[in-house]
Structure 1
Amino acid sequence: MGAESNKSLHLLSVFLTGIPGLEAEHGWLSIPFFTMYLVAIVGNSLIMAAVQKDTALHEPMYLFLSMLAITEVGVSVSTLPTVMGILWFDASQINFDGCLAQMFFIHTFSCMESGVLLAMSYDRFVAIYNPLRYTAILTLPRITSMGLGITLKSVILMAPLPILLKQLPYCHVNVLSHSYCLHSDLIQLPCADTKLNSILGLSIVLATFGLDSLLIVVSYVLILYTVLGIASGEGRRKALNTCVSHICAVLVYYVPMIGVSVMHRAAKHASPLVHTLMSSIYLFVPPVLNPIIYSVKTKPIRQGIVTLFCKKELL
């Protein structure tokens, strides 16, 4: 790094941005944001606790749902300190290493969430295609291996991003366009060529979110083909009904992601407020909606949560 224009990396700070044009309303805006965090963290934690405590929920579908809840709590906890710090205390400054750590955890948990959604689509395919061997195929060791594989893949793919960013020189005011650190934002800061970082970032997106979404579509094509082969209309309806919650979770996750991608490319000159809101929807909405969707649409989960509270009252 240039001695004249650079600070040492351990002294370098990054400045985050609140909600453009609404800085004076941060106090009021903190209420809905904090409510979303509360719903996301408490809702997903209740699902995890219900699956852990209720042996009737120790089935592949609910174990994968518990994994999804873990990733969504991870995403929420990763963004909470800086988002609420800005809204409550106007604390926009963050240490560069802290920013890299936040970026790593946000992207890692997002990648894990995509992998878990793919695993859940495979779970639904096995349940419909071969229901008699469902639990024999998706055994606990196999589910555990899939979870560890998703985690390991996500960590390995995301680890190079902060490492490469630390090698670059930073010689101007480092202001990001969000209330949290994202790789697409951080690669705009260095005063050096970031082509390698951009190529790596795009490759990771294609190898994870792109491939996962394609395989999810393939899974549902096979599920639909299998369902159409069921003789009775009632049987077809019941089979498809088991997929409704997962389809909603996939749409809630991928539709905002596609929207953010389209906005960055097709609407570059749109208001910064629009870009901020779209990115916030992508990160905040899935963790909030998924526990609600699964609690409403999945009776065993609902009963497991109720049982959890009943046991606490008895104690």
Structure 2
Amino acid sequence: MASGILALLDDVAAIAKLATASLDDIGVAAMRAGSKSAGVVIDDAAVTPAYVTGLEPARELPIIWRIAKGSLFNKVIILLPLALLLSAFLPFLITPVLMLGGAYLCYEGAEKLVEKFSHSKDGEDGNELDHIPYEDPKALEDEKVAGAVRTDLILSAEIMAIALGEISDSNIFTQAIVLFVVGVAITIGVYGAVAVIVKMDDIGLHLAKSSRGLISSVGNFLVRAMPWLLATLSVVGTAAMLWVGGGIIIHGMEVFGLGWLPHLFHGVAHTVGSWLPVANAAIEWIVNAVFAGVFGLALGYVIVLIHHRFEGAKEVKV
């Protein structure tokens, strides 16, 4: 009897260890997959505040909540099942899908730069939604929420595809859990950060008016820092999109046997890193990231030119 109990306890301990190991694997996979999505996440956080610009301050948080719910629906209800089906039945398409997504990120990053410089020359701000005449505030709010959710669907698809690419060799249960964790965590993180960002000036103004001394100074600093923060997020988000998108394409080239260019980049990065052995790994990472960003910008600019030429041809036909 005692031996039977001991055997049972051993089995329970083994199951517990297995479960713990599985949870550890899921946690590591989720962190790895989430970190690879950094460029898309940063851009998502940088883009979203624009959708509440020009609206009543009292409606900012409700709008962000609506967008967050739409984002969660995109990731968990639409994209997660599609990602699992792709992994289960068409795994060979994961790399091509990732490369298509990477190309889209490169296009988006390059398009942002093209629009930025063209608007600077023309003296425009580029935010078309702010120039649409709406008599009904709810109609404007619905329009902005719908636009934000559509944009989020594309960015969320990239996040889930990148995450899936990092765990493509895992079983379907692990993939489902990791994709769910990544989707929920990123949604909470992004829209929680967005909520803080859009309310930063209000918080700063409240501190500046209701307090004195150091707290008042902090409030004034928050108010003044808001435009700089948004500008910095925009720059970092664009750079991250180009870096992540270019990196995905470069990795895909290696998978399909077109590794001469990736090998060249890695070789140069290794050589530069060897010049300072103390920080070899960091320098190699930075050089590879720069190469990926430059490659992403070049590819994205080509796609932008092709897209503009195609749009121009359509307008001529019309």
TM-score between the two structures when normalised by the length of structure 2: 0.31
Return the structure number with greater helix share: 2
TM-score between the two structures when normalised by the length of structure 1: 0.31
